[in-house]
Amino acid sequence: MQTGYYASAAGMVAQFNRLDTISNNLANVNTAGFKEDNLVVGDFMRLYKEARDELPIENQTKEGAQFLNRAMTKSPQIVDSYTDFSVGSMQKTDNTLDFALSKDDMFFAVKTPQGVRLTRDGSFSMNDEGKLVTKQGYEVLPADYYQGGNSISLGTQNSTVNVDKDGQISTNSSNALTFTPSSKLMIVQPDNKSLLKKEGDNLFAYGDSAEFVGLENSGAVTQGFIEKSNVNAVKMMTQMIETNRLVGMYQKAMSAQMDDMNTEAITKIARKS
């Protein structure tokens, strides 16, 4: 068994997975509200340093040394993934139906065919029925959705919409002198962001939660702005170059294992025979 060959192959697979993640981040560098994904590449030495006192075999023994030697032949692999939820830069649009959240642990709630989902993309619009919807046509939910199954209706296209920092919506028709409070945006603050899973269309599912509780005073809503992607394009390009180089190094190691070492072994065996 040529352990070096299999270790190199596994390392290359890990880098291919990393390339997929980097490519997806770069593809969404201009997607409003997109959050950068990252992978954690694990190896035995890192894990050993974290749990050296909890080895399954007693350390400083012959058996322990054999265990270490066997384990150190294991190749790097993807052990975890995570999403960076830091707030992206704010871009002013002056569109009254564009909203951004200034805190990284808050989300808008929207209604999809698969159920209620969360999003950071606040570039909303009004559909033909006068309801507030996302770019994909999903209804943006009000704070009292679970009490009455309501939707956010903005009235006519001529209505002026004003939203405060807590998501309270007030409208003013063309002939009215004052704003009238109407619906309120449901701003959700999940207890554990690690349970959020991306589902496409810039949406997140949150565990098995059946109902969300909207914040009464979020203080995070900014009207006339959208939150840009938090992906750093320069950093991603640097990581892509680094990953491509690692793939090339693993490929050379595999070639050396299969070609050079095998050729040398066959040559020596032929001479002796």
The model's confidence at residue 211, banded by pLDDT at 50, 70 and 90, is: confident
| Burial classification of residue 9, based on how many CB atoms lie within 10 Å of its CB (0-12 exposed, 13-18 middle, 19 or more buried) | middle
In sequence order, the β-bridge partners of residue 111 are 116, 139
* Cα–Cα distance for residue pair 143/151, rounded to 1 Å: 9
CA–CA separation, 138 and 132 (whole Å): 9
pLDDT band for 63, please (50, 70, 90 cuts).
Answer: low
pLDDT at 268: 65
**Bridge partners (DSSP) listed for residue 37:** 83
Neighbours of 110 (CB within 10 A): 24
Report, as an integer, the average pLDDT of 68-86: 71
CA distance 121 to 101: 9
The pLDDT, as a whole number, for residue 109 is 94
Q: What is the pLDDT of residues 100-152, one digit of tens each?
A: 999 999 999 999 998 899 999 999 998 888 889 999 999 999 998 988 878 88
